[in-house]
């Protein structure tokens, strides 16, 4: 999904290492503003004043997380919209969400299992 910060690729770490990914709800923080940039988005973290860019798929996910959604919901929406291998989709979605959270652009909340 080409998540980049100041020209450097963010490390691709598995969200599932710390969370049961399907039970994590993700929402965008209010600390970022976004504007269309080509076929994607440019994001500005208002606290750090660092710009980030998202490609078209990342922009789609950014739109989804304007309301809290589970990782499973996000993954299903991406699979329904794009022709992508499910395993690749899972890895890419989790890496993007982790990158957003690590950079203060999204919040990850672990859902309580009922």
How many structural domains is the chain composed of?
Answer: 1
Q: How confident is the model at residue 110 (pLDDT cuts 50, 70, 90)?
A: confident
Instruction: Say if residue 9's pLDDT is above 60.
Output: no
Each residue of 46-104: pLDDT tens digit? 999 999 999 999 999 999 999 999 999 999 999 999 999 999 999 999 999 999 999 99
In tens, the pLDDT along 35-49 reads 999 999 999 999 999
Q: What is the pLDDT of residues 66-78, one digit of tens each?
A: 999 999 999 999 9
Q: How far apart are CA 111 and CA 114, in angstroms?
A: 9
Tokens at 62, concatenated: 């950014």
The answer to whether residue 100 is domain-embedded is: yes
Burial class (CB in 10 A: 0-12, 13-18, 19+), 101: middle
Residue 66 belongs to a domain with what CATH number?
3.90.930.50
- Let me know if residue 103 belongs to a domain: yes
DSSP H or E stretch at residue 57: helix 56-64
Instruction: Please indicate, yes or no, if residue 26 is contained in any of the structural domains.
Output: yes
Q: Which range of residues forms the domain containing residue 46?
A: 4-10+21-109
Domain assignment of residue 32, yes or no: yes
């Amino acid at each position: 999904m080409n998540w980049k910060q100041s020209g450097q690729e963010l490390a691709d770490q598995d969200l599932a290492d710390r969370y049961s990914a399907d039970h994590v709800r993700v929402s965008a923080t209010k600390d970022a503003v976004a504007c269309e940039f080509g076929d994607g988005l440019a994001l500005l973290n208002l606290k750090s004043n660092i710009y980030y860019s998202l490609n078209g798929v990342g922009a789609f996910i950014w739109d989804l997380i304007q309301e809290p959604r589970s990782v499973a919901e996000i993954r299903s929406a991406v699979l329904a919209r794009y022709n992508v291998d499910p395993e690749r989709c899972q890895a890419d979605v989790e890496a993007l969400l982790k990158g957003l959270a690590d950079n203060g652009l999204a919040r990850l909340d672990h859902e309580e299992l009922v």
